[in-house]
Amino acid sequence: MMSMSTILEINQLSLATTNKKQLVTDVSLAVGKGKTIGIVGESGSGKSLTLRAIIQLLPPTIIKVGGTIRCESSCAMIFQDPVSALDPLCPVVRQVAEVVSYRQHLSRKTSRTKALELLALLGLPEDLKRNDRYPHQLSGGQRQRVLIAIALACRPGILLCDEPTTALDVTVQKQILELLAKLQRELNFALVFVTHNLAIASALCTKLYVMKEGRIVEQGRTQDILANPQHAYTKMLIDSVLHLPDLKGVIAGE
Amino acid sequence: MKMHMLNKRRIFRKGILSNRAAGHTAATVSISILSALLKAMATVACIIVAVFFIIRIVPGDPVKMILGEHASPSEIIQMRHSLGLDLPLGQQFVRFLHHLFMYGDTGTSIIYNVSTRTLIAERTPVTLLLIVMAIAITIVVAVLLAMIAATHKDGLVDHLIRIFPTITLGMPVFWVGLLLILVFGVWLHWFPVGGTSGGLFGTLYSLTLPAITVAFSQIPSLVRSLRAQLLDVLGSDFVVTLKAAGIPNRVILFRHVLRNASIPTLMLLGVNVSYLIGGTLVIEQVFGLKGIGSLLFSAISSRDFPVIQGIALYCAVAVVLINLFIEILSGYLDPRLKGDD
Amino acid sequence: MLLLLVSLAVFAPLISRYQPAAQNLADILRPSSANHWLGTDQLGRDLFTRLIYAARTDLRIMILAEILPFCTGIFLGMLAGYYGKWIDALVTLMTNTLIAFPFYLIVIVVAFASGAGERGIYITFALVGWIVFARVVKGLSASLRKQEWVASAKVLGLPDSRILLFHILPNVLPQAIVVLMTDMVGLLVAIVTLGYLGIGIAPPTPDWGTMISEGQTFIYSKWWLSTIPGFAVVYTGIALSLIGDGLADLWRRK
């Protein structure tokens, strides 16, 4: 069905806790190069765990019990809570620079220049350069931009986003989403977007996976799912979104 | 609800941000240092008062103690006069303060007839060296053990560390010293069992066992606190961010986790310094070291109370200064403590 | 564990055939034997007998010396926490001052100034021992004061004394008792240390501290004389802190 090369393919992935509680069952999905998919579902449905499994950072009490993950490019990840996702004691520029130097094998000085370039690309104010800012001195949106900069410093082929806008103001949410879309066009990475907000997912993704209780209950092209949901749970999700028509206008506008 | 709080906080932070932009950072830092300084000074003032009154509030007459129970009344009156104890309390206090600020000591030793400052200064090097060594050993061992325990949670070291404080809590520090003397001095002959030998190396060598003893009393509580902090930080989101970004574990542990975890433990070390100094004084007695501790005990047995007061004042002020230093240091380590919030 | 110790201490005269102070100069510094379980000391006194008689002295003083600081500490802590303001400032200043003096320094100095022996120990701990309790109780009652039921009790017109006595006190007491257990260990160690330094309990009354200091002279040949009393202290310490941990667990579960 897919004509372009698949960059990430998950086959029958199952995850469970060490004391045998099944959390994710038989999840399969595929992402094409430079494409965007969305994983939608309520909290506790196993979306975030699936992401963690891709980047091999499962919590120590959770193990992979079945399935394969084939990943043909480097991954990077953005997290839900930008407040706690940055080291509070480390100036943000240095945190980005550290990642640059480890991932791109550059000297300290070049890393710093690179890091500042990245931060500028993400629309962070110039004065980050002048005096070293600590995470607590930034706003939520600014911190999320720093996190995106850290992820981009890894030069990812796939960017995994774990509810990156949930903890933000609505207006800032929109800025971050637009930023992600812009970066994707420029840098051509694939995007795996996890959210419980169907509106955001449908605004951004070409393909949707709906997860419930650790299983994928429905998948398909975004328009198809929105127009003709099969599963009762998907219908419920669609019904619970109030402003869907407006947002569809936004996609068309883009 | 949560969102609401977050928003509120952000607005608050934005306010700070604009303040900062105007270049107030240096000012807020120095204000927080200033307030710490003021607090320390208030405590020092109270310490001076406490040291002055300590001999006077507790029952028992120092003069009778010095001269013994069978001293004649005229002897007592004469002694009182020479010590200035026959003056009204207020006047005594003024004299005490005058002496303290003019000469920096608490009077002349009754026994040695030299100023307490000279006496204490003479004994300081040994005690100071012992304390510094003890703190160094404490920090190195505590960090090492806590790291092992936190990175190998529920491993052998971790289990031992969790039961260790329960056992060591009831260990008198002098008895630990005795055990170490017995094992390393008497049985194994690795270390001298008392006194100091000549030369810098000799001194360090003979102070090793006492320093280990003092460190031993501090390590369990610090390891426990540091372990808990490390586990806390290891579970935090930013560690996942860094891991996801491909930073090696070793680098994350040393550069980010340890630093975050060390701040609360540093505060605990500040509280414990007082116990550490007290333990040092006792341990000097066990190992026969000529430091402030042995001066204290000879002063006690000869009822030389200006010297006792001097030592009390000196140690207490040292504790306050160390805590002040730690407070300022953690302000630099943790940017969040600098004034705002 | 503690029960064994207490019963050994209480029934000491029944268990041992010897008097703790009975000297037998024909039988000095003997190692363990059937007649003298743990051997004899430099004056031919039976070590085991002295050990359990010392438990009597030390445990009694430990408990008696803890009563006054426990009560004052709770009282001052509740006042400071409940009323805040200047009472709080005063108590804080007092604790800061006392805490600046190294614990053993102040214990040694006050014990010396008030005369060696039991009386000195009681006075010393009445002066310095309350800090620990005051700090814990202060924190607890300050947080209780902010809770709604205290506010509602105030609205109902209950006098402060009633709120403090019947509402705050029962809430802070469990925590204070847990602290009491660990504090008793510290106090016991302090008593023993004073005994060791010769400004605590005066010989010939048996006390673990004086026993250790007397035994130290013979550390080269009769090492057990100074080590065994120490193990008694450690044993008591473990027993008390286990009780403390147990109580803390019990109340946490409630």
Q: What is the DSSP string of chain C?
A: -HHHHHHHHHTHHHH-SS-TT---TTS-S--S-SSSTT-B-TT--BHHHHHHHHHHHHHHHHHHHHHHHHHHHHHHHHHHHHH-HHHHHHHHHHHHHHHHS-HHHHHHHHHHHT-SSHHHHHHHHHHHTHHHHHHHHHHHHHHHHTSHHHHHHHHTT--HHHIIIIIIHHHHHHHHHHHHHHHHHHHHHHHHHHHHHTSSSPTTS--HHHHHHHHHTTTTT-THHHHHHHHHHHHHHHHHHHHHHHHHHHHHH-
Nearest to B58 among C99, C123, C238 (CB): C123
Amino acid A240: pLDDT: 72
Query: pLDDT by residue (tens digit) across B38-63?
Result: 888 888 888 888 877 776 665 556 66
Whether residue A84 and residue B248 make contact (CB cut-off 8 A), yes or no, is no
Mutate to test the interface with A, among B238, B257, B263, B340 (most CBs of A within 10 A): B238
CB B43 within 8 Å of CB C96: yes
CA distance A48 to chain B (A): 13
C-alpha to C-alpha distance for B272 and C19, rounded to whole angstroms: 41
Query: pLDDT by residue (tens digit) across B145-184?
Result: 888 888 887 778 888 887 877 787 777 888 888 888 777 7
Amino acid A131: pLDDT: 62
Q: Is the pLDDT of residue B14 over 50?
A: no
Whether residue A102 and residue B256 make contact (CB cut-off 8 A), yes or no, is no
Q: At C103, which amino acid appears?
A: F
Residues 6 or more apart whose Cβ sits within 8 Å of residue A16: A22, A23, A24, A62, A63, A65
Amino acid B24: pLDDT: 43
User: For residue B272, what are its two tokens?
Assistant: 């414990």
Check if B329 contacts A (Cβ < 8 Å): no
Question: What does pLDDT average to over chain C?
Answer: 75
Among the residue ranges B31-40, B193-202, C216-225, the one predicted with the least confidence is: B193-202
C-alpha to C-alpha distance for C153 and C132, rounded to whole angstroms: 29
Check if C212 contacts B (Cβ < 8 Å): yes
Chains B+A touching (3+ CB pairs under 8 Å):
yes
Of the pLDDT bands very low, low, confident and very high (cuts 50, 70, 90), residue C124 is confident
The whole-number average pLDDT for the span B84-104 is 74
**Any bridge partners for residue C46, and if so which?**
C40
Of the pLDDT bands very low, low, confident and very high (cuts 50, 70, 90), residue A17 is confident
Of the pLDDT bands very low, low, confident and very high (cuts 50, 70, 90), residue A35 is confident
The whole-number average pLDDT for the span A26-49 is 81
Query: pLDDT by residue (tens digit) across A117-129?
Result: 888 877 777 666 6
Amino acid B295: pLDDT: 86
Query: pLDDT by residue (tens digit) across B249-293?
Result: 788 888 888 888 888 888 888 878 888 888 888 888 888 888 888
The whole-number average pLDDT for the span B242-250 is 79
* Interface A-B: count of C-beta contacts within 8 A: 86
Residue B306, helix vs strand vs coil = helix
Instruction: Compare all CA atoms of chain B with the CA of A130 and give the residue at the minimum distance.
Output: B21
Amino acid C99: pLDDT: 78
Whether residue C113 and residue B167 make contact (CB cut-off 8 A), yes or no, is no
C-alpha to C-alpha distance for A160 and A86, rounded to whole angstroms: 17
The region, left, alpha or beta by phi > 0 then psi within -120 to 50, assigned to residue C115 is left
Amino acid B9: pLDDT: 39
Contact residues on chain A for B251, CB-CB shorter than 8 A: 98, 102
CA distance C74 to chain B (A): 21
Burial classification of residue A203, based on how many CB atoms lie within 10 Å of its CB (0-12 exposed, 13-18 middle, 19 or more buried): buried
Question: What does pLDDT average to over chain A?
Answer: 78
Query: pLDDT by residue (tens digit) across C169-207?
Result: 887 888 888 888 888 888 888 888 887 877 767 666 777
Contact residues on chain A for B334, CB-CB shorter than 8 A: 88-89
CA distance B294 to chain A (A): 44
Amino acid B341: pLDDT: 36
Amino acid A224: pLDDT: 83
Query: pLDDT by residue (tens digit) across A213-234?
Result: 888 888 888 888 888 888 888 8
CB A25 within 8 Å of CB A214: yes
Amino acid C24: pLDDT: 58
Q: Is the pLDDT of residue C36 over 60?
A: no
Check if A8 contacts B (Cβ < 8 Å): no
Burial classification of residue B240, based on how many CB atoms lie within 10 Å of its CB (0-12 exposed, 13-18 middle, 19 or more buried): buried
Q: Is the pLDDT of residue A242 over 70?
A: no
Instruction: Compare all CA atoms of chain A with the CA of B19 and give the residue at the minimum distance.
Output: A137
Amino acid C10: pLDDT: 63
**Helix pair angle (C130-145, C169-197), 10° resolution:** 160
- CATH number 3.40.50.2300 is the correct assignment for the domain at B2-55+117-338: no
User: For residue B136, what are its two tokens?
Assistant: 């160094």
Check if C28 contacts B (Cβ < 8 Å): no
Contact residues on chain B for C233, CB-CB shorter than 8 A: 170-172, 175
Instruction: Compare all CA atoms of chain B with the CA of A89 and give the residue at the minimum distance.
Output: B334
Residue B232, helix vs strand vs coil = helix
If one counts every other C-beta atom within 10 angstroms of the C-beta of residue B38, the result is 10
Query: pLDDT by residue (tens digit) across A193-206?
Result: 888 878 778 878 88
Query: pLDDT by residue (tens digit) across B291-341?
Result: 888 888 888 777 777 888 888 888 888 888 888 888 888 877 777 765 443
Question: Could you give phi then psi for residue A14, rounded to 5 degrees?
Answer: -130, 135
Residue B141, helix vs strand vs coil = helix
Amino acid C30: pLDDT: 59
Query: Which chains have 3+ CB pairs within 8 A of C?
Result: B
Amino acid B298: pLDDT: 83
C-alpha to C-alpha distance for C224 and C41, rounded to whole angstroms: 10
C-alpha to C-alpha distance for A67 and A53, rounded to whole angstroms: 11
Q: Is the pLDDT of residue A7 over 50?
A: yes
User: For residue B25, what are its two tokens?
Assistant: 């950072």
* More confident site: A32 or C39: A32
Q: Is the pLDDT of residue A64 over 70?
A: yes
Check if B41 contacts C (Cβ < 8 Å): no
The whole-number average pLDDT for the span B230-251 is 81
* More confident site: B66 or C241: C241
Contact residues on chain B for C234, CB-CB shorter than 8 A: 167, 170-171
Structural domains for chain C: 47-253 (1.10.3720.10)
Amino acid C115: pLDDT: 66
User: For residue C27, what are its two tokens?
Assistant: 């039988």
Chains B+C touching (3+ CB pairs under 8 Å):
yes
Instruction: Compare all CA atoms of chain A with the CA of B331 and give the residue at the minimum distance.
Output: A89
Sheet-wide strand order for A36-41? A75-78, A158-162, A190-195, A36-41, A207-212, A215-221
Contact residues on chain C for B292, CB-CB shorter than 8 A: none
CB B168 within 8 Å of CB B275: no
**Helix pair angle (C224-253, C208-216), 10° resolution:** 150
Nearest to C110 among B46, B54, B171 (CB): B54
Per domain, the residue ranges of chain B are: 2-55+117-338
Amino acid C7: pLDDT: 65
The whole-number average pLDDT for the span A136-147 is 82
CA dihedral C110, B107, C102, C216 (to 10 degrees): -70
Question: Could you give phi then psi for residue A77, rounded to 5 degrees?
Answer: -135, 145
Q: Is the pLDDT of residue A161 over 50?
A: yes
Residues 6 or more apart whose Cβ sits within 8 Å of residue B18: none
Of the pLDDT bands very low, low, confident and very high (cuts 50, 70, 90), residue C12 is low
CA distance B328 to chain C (A): 17
CA distance B184 to chain C (A): 12
Amino acid B10: pLDDT: 37
Contact residues on chain C for B319, CB-CB shorter than 8 A: 99-102
Given the DSSP bridges, would you call strands A36-41 and A190-195 parallel, antiparallel or unpaired? Answer: parallel
Sign of CA dihedral B36, B38, B44, B49: negative
Check if B166 contacts C (Cβ < 8 Å): yes
Amino acid B8: pLDDT: 39
Q: Is the pLDDT of residue C141 over 50?
A: yes
The whole-number average pLDDT for the span B210-235 is 85
The whole-number average pLDDT for the span C136-162 is 77
Whether residue B281 and residue C104 make contact (CB cut-off 8 A), yes or no, is yes
User: For residue C78, what are its two tokens?
Assistant: 């509740």
* More confident site: A102 or B65: A102
Residues 6 or more apart whose Cβ sits within 8 Å of residue A185: none
Check if B199 contacts C (Cβ < 8 Å): no
Q: Is the pLDDT of residue C254 over 70?
A: no
Q: What are the C-alpha distances in Å from A111 to residues A186, A187, A248, C109?
A: 21, 19, 40, 59
Q: Is the pLDDT of residue C154 over 50?
A: yes
Amino acid C238: pLDDT: 81
**CA nearest to C48, candidates C62, C31, C61, C63:** C31
C-alpha to C-alpha distance for C124 and C115, rounded to whole angstroms: 10
Burial classification of residue B104, based on how many CB atoms lie within 10 Å of its CB (0-12 exposed, 13-18 middle, 19 or more buried): middle
C-alpha to C-alpha distance for C142 and C144, rounded to whole angstroms: 5
Rounded to a whole number of angstroms, the distance between the first and last alpha carbons of chain A is 26
The whole-number average pLDDT for the span A228-245 is 73
Query: pLDDT by residue (tens digit) across C71-114?
Result: 888 888 888 888 877 888 888 888 877 777 777 787 777 777 76
Query: Which chains have 3+ CB pairs within 8 A of B?
Result: A, C
- In chain A, the largest separation of any two C-alpha atoms, in whole Å, equals 55
* Interface B-C: count of C-beta contacts within 8 A: 155
Of the pLDDT bands very low, low, confident and very high (cuts 50, 70, 90), residue C27 is low
- Name the range with the highest mean pLDDT among B97-106, B128-137, B176-185, B189-198: B128-137
Q: Say whether pTM exceeds 0.80.
A: no
* More confident site: A161 or B186: A161
**Any bridge partners for residue A220, and if so which?**
A208
Question: What does pLDDT average to over chain B?
Answer: 76
Q: Is the pLDDT of residue A176 over 80?
A: yes
